[in-house]
Structure 1
Amino acid sequence: MEDAKLTLGPVYYLWEGEKWRDFYFRIADEAPVSRVVVGETVCSKRQHFIEPYMADVIERLEAAGKEVVLSTYALVTLNREVRQIRDMAEDLTYMVEANDLSALSFLKDRAYTVGPLVNVYNAPTARLLCQRGATAICLPPELPLSSIEAIAAEKPGLDLEVFAFGRTPLAISARCAHARSKGKIKDNCQFVCKDDPDGLTVRTLDRQPFLALNGVQTVSHTCQALLGEMGGLAEAGIARFRLSPQDCDMIAVSKIYRAVLDGRTETGAALEQLRAVYPAAPLSNGFLYGKEGAAFVAAARSA
């Protein structure tokens, strides 16, 4: 699996600008990832936190030999958001990742990638996107292995990527449940989501952790971890594995995944290392096995 590559997805959470900048500086200097997706994806109101540092982050990543991809919004509702995506599409300096189909009208005359928030559930959809300029697709994290294999078997003409680490993105809304939970409204949220840099846990009536809120986005409580499945996925035709940033040592996470891909660490040991690095959420891989996403199938394939 030495040929398989790692992608670092965008930070979905609201981190203070300096923390966000320093995170990517470390990624540039230390993480064994070849592609890095940067930019606000969840809520355009957060843009001003990272905007002052974007140029420095991109420069540092490129100097380290990383391929930089700019992320678009997952839900476009405002005219200024439309203008921002149009401006990104017209600037051919960087590859752009579409996270909402509305971006395709601006990206139709250039190459682009597709993020895991776009519902690519079958091979005809993958082929259509390829015909419209897509060079890579990160498949939705809820796809079972059978669907992934069926898409890969059709050889749609682009790189296929799988969401291999992180709380899985489940839904996005025009309303902000995160703000509402803290007595705020979306238009005057006071950016309360920055108080939860790894998401705000949602519990059932029985007080069991169930989901997590991230502004207008809902993510899983568990953390998808496909360490044991990467061998089979690579054999099926998956070229890349995506790591979604969590509020933990993502350098260590990336090195764990790289060691498994390179055959230097056995899956069981790697899972224990991953749990130690990111103890905030239980690991899961249920979606890949056609089960509930929060499940963890212990009989995962050995890498």
Structure 2
Amino acid sequence: MSRNHININTISAVVAGALCTITLPVGATYDQLSIETNIPLAKMKNIRVNVNNDVVEEYKDGTVLAAVNKYYKREVVDGIVDLHFKKTEMKTLSEKRQFCLGTKNMQPQTAEQVPFMPAITSVTVTFEIDASVAAPTVAVTALQSDAVPFGNFIKVKRLPVTLSAGTNEIDNIPKGYDAHIKNVFLVTDATVDKVTVIRNSTEEKNVKQSIAEKVQRENGRAPQAGYYAVDFCGEGDIKQALQLKDVRDLRFRVECDAGTAAATYGELVIEYVDTLKGV
């Protein structure tokens, strides 16, 4: 089938101070969701994509989601908040569409297929509307494509961290069983000079932030202030994602400017390539 835009009409609790829930019909494949709203980005909090009882994407608020979209040079428009399941930053069409949100239920033919073809019973997008928002409005349009089962997906997970001047090590990063990391954003007000990735005692990336951002721009990315990206798939090749299977030691060594205040808050926004029951 050709790609098709449809309106999503099952939207509940569009009320200040409430948890708004958008319910997607099961059976379709979703390339993108566009949420038209008058809610300021910072007041659209704890955005989550839920499949069955699993949170597969989560963002602190709309500002973080918009910054991630800007980094990938996705179109960002005032009054519209987009969730992109089709990954346009990949090089080939098959890789771009590989991670669309498929909800078609099919019968596994072998035992090996069971973990990769989970039964999908519900798909929702939820977010909290700040109590200060006056008369919030929400309308949703979905871009759908050929129906496929849920397969590999780019999960987005949050991990809070604290940073201080000098060297900081983050060693509690979830690894899952057979996941890969596509990209990591360190979101913080601290000034970060360098992020070094250490996997099983081997440095995978050790480059100053100024050089890293130059390479990202050469690869068609748009680095955002306060969002320090460690982009393993900068060339649009998913095969370059950081493999985590059998990884015992995974650390991010973050070098912060001498002027960084003690215990400055930050969080990692981690993009994993994984299955539904993974990390």
Greater percentage in helix:
1
TM-score by length of 2: 0.27
Greater percentage in strand:
2
TM-score by length of 1: 0.25
Q: Which has the higher contact order (CA 8 A, sep 6+)?
A: 2
